[in-house]
Each structure stands twice: as structure tokens, then as C-alpha cells.
Amino acid sequence: MAFDDLRQFIQALDRAGELKRIPFEVDPHLEMTAFADKSVKTGGPALLFERAKGSNMPVLINAFASMKRMQIALGVDSVEDVAERIAGYLQMRPAEGLMGKLKMLPKLAEIGSFFPKMVADGPCKEVIRHDNFSLLEIPVLHCWPLDGGPFVTLPMVFSKNPETGKRNCGMYRMQVFDGRTTGMHWQTQKQGAEHYRTMRREGRRRMDIAVAIGSDPATMYSAILPLPPELDEMMLASFLRGKPVEMVKCETCDIEVPANAEIVLEGYLDIGELRTEGPFGDHTGFYSLEGEYPVFHVTCMTHRKNPVYPTTVVGPPPMEDFYMGKAIERIFLPLMKMQLPEVRDICMPAEGVFHNMILVSIKKRYPGHARKVMHAIWGLGQAMFSKCIVVVDEDVDVQNVSETAWKALNNIDPQRDIEFVLGPVDSLDHASRLPDFGSKMGVDATRKWPAEGFHRPWPKVIKMDEAVEARVEQLWRKAGLK
């Protein structure tokens, strides 16, 4: 069952006991952050602030901030189900015989629903405002004390590739500078930034942008997925929902947005115009530094009647983004395995803030195999940012970080097994020698082979005899122990 919009999702969270409505006034300046942080770190619910200080709009926060809420958002019992669905399509083979072909029909019919659909009108057009609007009406959170200002943190930013006309949707935070302008914090390796560079090279002066805020959760979530550049996020959203995303044309620019959006900001970037953005209390748990980013000029705001403003707070982990990232880890595993079939599992522990630490277990089959996997990951889309990759053998459960650390730390001869490479790093990395460029570390913590020049015997992991364990289990109880 796909949600029609954000409101249906809110109702579903409420029904599942995953939402707390806050009826009294709370300040978007710092207070909501402290509220949301406490809730996520204590396993608390999503929050709907019904009275945001200084605004008429309610604020939704932490709507994705647990695995349970991610499941509700994606309409599944487990996010692994999404992975299985994807794997099902990836493994589709030409059917044998009539029965085989008939069996494939439902799957093929389903593919038809993956394409977003243009519609003439939609709820996001209930109120259209060309002149009489201000971004300051929106209860945008000033998240942390040293932030440079208020930031829109869950925007779906739409742009078009000027060469192919294909759309992109990415989630890039936007610092609100005043009633009509914001920053556009796309990092240099992201698709919006690539469209911008292409247009600058072509000598264009103006880049159309539309930003949708708040829609059905699968569509919102698709904005953060690390898809290949020309794969339409709205197609993936349609796949996740099992129902086409309905798109409407903007009023003032040549871009389409989800028709069910709560708020749409239409406008443009003046190509070449940059403004200082930040600092911002970031995913890393540190303030990311100020930087120069394009300026988004908003020329038209459309919205639903009584719009709800969804947002998130990032900061010292784990926060809402951890759960969004964990679901990505699970959903993308089959895609990674398609290119790297030797990979058994991966895990990005919360402390590593996504890509600072990736634990990978592999079926090691040939000398140097662990290093091949590291380099492949560094070459795989946004996994290029992986700062520290630890590769272990298939018998290590990488979801158990403690077991992985124990075995990996025992298995390495650091000088032999650690490799440093240089390359692109996350813009949020404050330690790299240069912005966006620095070193990354690969740790080969697999068991070493004679074919890799290791000729000493490799010891076994200690394990008690099973019969003895069973007997001691009885003796244990006999001794009155629990």
C-alpha cells in the first residue's frame, strides 16, 4: 500500500504508536533540535510540533528515525524485503516454456508502474503565490548554537541535465538567507553540482531549480539514494511505492515536482553567483566549516492548504540519518553484490557516520582478493567516500561490530595489511588535507594465505567442545546458577 502523501504517512505513524503530537509552542530555534535529539537517542517516537513559534505550519521530525519507521515509510515488514524485490528483478532470466512465461507476467506488469506519471494538477497547487510570500513563514530550524542560520534539511532538489534533459532529485540542505534566497549546498561530486558545471561550461546564465518539501515518504527517501547519475529518482520512488509518482509542472520554470508535495519552491540560480554557507552542525557530529555555494532565488511558492513542514536534525550519532543510511545499506547490498559477487555483507556502524567506516565480509577466493574489493568499493559511486574499509573473511558477522573489531585487530600485521590511497573524500571531512581530496585507508583483515607470502600456520578461533557445553549447562543449573 503506497501512501498518497505526507499526511497519510503521519496518520500511519500515529496509528502504529510511532508519533507524538506536541500541542504546545516549541521554538524552531534550538528547542526543536534538543527535543528531537533526546527522542532519537532514547528510542522515542517521531514528533509533530503542532505549534511552532513564529509560524502557522506544524513541524514533523524523526519520521524516519527508527527501523520500524523506515519499514512503515517503505510499506514493508523489513527493509530486507526491498532488497529482495530488487534482487528478484536483477536475477530475472528469460523464461523457459509457456508456464515460465506466464509466471513472469505479474512481474513484467509491475514494471509498468515504475514510471512516474505527469498529471495536470495536484494538491501542491492549492495555493499559488508569485509575489506575496516569504520563506520566513516556514518554521525552518536553526538546529545547533553555532549554525550560520536556519537550514531546510529535507528538501527534494530538482534540476535537469542540460545535455540529456533528464531530471535529477537530490537532497541538499538549504540555508535560508532571507525571505527569498537560500544556499544550495550540493557537494562537488553530486548530480546537481554536475548539472551546474555543465551549464556554466555552456555559458548559460541561469539554472532553473525547483524544491519540493514533504511528500509521501518513499518519494522523499528516494532523494537521498546514491543512484547512478542518469537514473531518475522518481522512477525508483515509483518502484518503492509500487505506484507511479505523480508529477506536475512548475508555474514559473521548466521542472516537474511531485504533485503531492506540501510545499514547492520554484526559482533559479544565477550561474557564477556564490555566497558563504554554513557553518552547520552536521552528520559527522561536528560543525562543518563555511564554504562558497550557489544561491537559490525563489520566485514562486506553491503549497497545500495548511502545509506540514518535515525536517530532520543531524548531529552526534546516532540520529535520524543513521536509520536512513542503515536502510540504504540493506537496500543496496544486492546491487553491490551484482558487481561484487564475492561480497557477503557490509555494515556501516553509526560511529562511522556512513562512509567513515565500512566493514565488508567476503568469500576470499584468490590472493589479494580483499584489496580488489576495497578498490572496487572506492570506485563505486558514492562509496568513493569510504574513508576506512575493513575487509574480513565470510565467517565474520560484520553486523556484530564487536566481533569484527576483535577478529580484525587480531588478524592484521598493520604494516603489511593496511593500504592508503588518495582520492575524492566527502566534503564534510574536516580532517582531509584539502577540501574534497584526501587519503583513505583499506585494512585487509582476512586470513593470510601462503600464496600471499604468509607461511606461518594460522591459528583456529577458540571454541568449547559442544558436548562439554551441554553437560556444563546441566551442572550450571544443578549449582543453582541462572
Ligand X SMILES: Cc1cc2nc3c(=O)[nH]c(=O)nc-3n(C[C@H](O)[C@H](O)[C@H](O)COP(=O)(O)O)c2cc1C
Q: Which residues are near ligand X by CB under 6 A?
A: 153, 168, 170-173, 185-187, 190-192, 223-226, 312, 314, 321, 324, 382
Minimum CB separation of residue 364 from Mn ion in Å reads: 33
Sort 238 into a burial class: Cβ within 10 Å, 0-12 / 13-18 / 19+.
buried
# residues near Mn ion by CB under 5 A = 3
- The helix/strand/coil state of 107 is helix
**Residue 382 binds which entry of ligand X, Mn ion, none, CB below 5-8 Å type-dependent:** ligand X
> In which residue are the cell numbers 530550524 written?
141
Cα 468 from chain centroid? Answer: 47
Q: Closer to ligand X by CB, 133 or 221: give it.
A: 221
Among 191, 260, 361, 446, binds Mn ion (CB under 5 A): 191
DSSP state, 235? H
Q: Tell me how far apart the alpha carbons of residues 347 and 187 are, in angstroms, rounded to a whole number.
A: 24
**Residue 324 binds which entry of ligand X, Mn ion, none, CB below 5-8 Å type-dependent:** ligand X
Q: Is 159 in the site for Mn ion (CB under 5 A)?
A: no
- The helix/strand/coil state of 243 is coil
Please give the residues from 211 up to 230 whose contact with Mn ion meets the rule CB under 5 A.
227
Q: Closer to Mn ion by CB, 227 or 408: give it.
A: 227
Q: Closer to ligand X by CB, 434 or 462: give it.
A: 434
**Residue 312 binds which entry of ligand X, Mn ion, none, CB below 5-8 Å type-dependent:** ligand X
* Helices vs strands, H then E, count in the chain: 13, 23
Q: Is 288 in the site for Mn ion (CB under 5 A)?
A: no
Q: Closer to ligand X by CB, 19 or 324: give it.
A: 324
Q: Tell me how far apart the alpha carbons of residues 363 and 342 are, in angstroms, rounded to a whole number.
A: 5
Active site residue 77: no
Q: Tell me how far apart the alpha carbons of residues 276 and 442 are, in angstroms, rounded to a whole number.
A: 34
Print the SS3 string covering 414-471.
HHHHEEEEEEECCCCCCCCCECCEEEEEEEECCCCCHHHCCCCCCCCCCCCCHHHHHH
Q: Closer to Mn ion by CB, 168 or 386: give it.
A: 168
Q: Closer to ligand X by CB, 207 or 391: give it.
A: 207
Q: Tell me how far apart the alpha carbons of residues 174 and 182 are, in angstroms, rounded to a whole number.
A: 6
Minimum CB separation of residue 184 from ligand X in Å reads: 9
Cβ proximity of 370 and 394 under 8 Å = no
Minimum CB separation of residue 296 from ligand X in Å reads: 12
**Residue 225 binds which entry of Mn ion, ligand X, none, CB below 5-8 Å type-dependent:** ligand X
Amino acid identity for residue 367 in this structure: P
**Residue 142 binds which entry of Mn ion, ligand X, none, CB below 5-8 Å type-dependent:** none
Among 165-173, 206-214, 241-249, 302-310, which window interacts with Mn ion (CB under 5 A)? 165-173
Cα 243 from chain centroid? Answer: 21
Minimum CB separation of residue 283 from ligand X in Å reads: 7
Q: Is 168 in the site for Mn ion (CB under 5 A)?
A: yes
Minimum CB separation of residue 231 from Mn ion in Å reads: 7
Strand 59-61 vs strand 309-311: parallel, antiparallel, or unpaired? Answer: parallel
Return the residue nearest Mn ion (CB atom): 191
**Annotated catalytic residue within 37, 208, 282, 417:** 282
Q: Closer to Mn ion by CB, 168 or 356: give it.
A: 168
Among 164-172, 269-277, 374-382, 383-391, which window interacts with Mn ion (CB under 5 A)? 164-172
| Percent helix / strand / coil, the chain, rounded to 5 | 35, 25, 40
Strand 437-444 vs strand 388-393: parallel, antiparallel, or unpaired? Answer: parallel
Catalytic sites, residue numbers? 282
Residues that bind Mn ion in the complex, under the rule CB under 5 A:
168, 191, 227
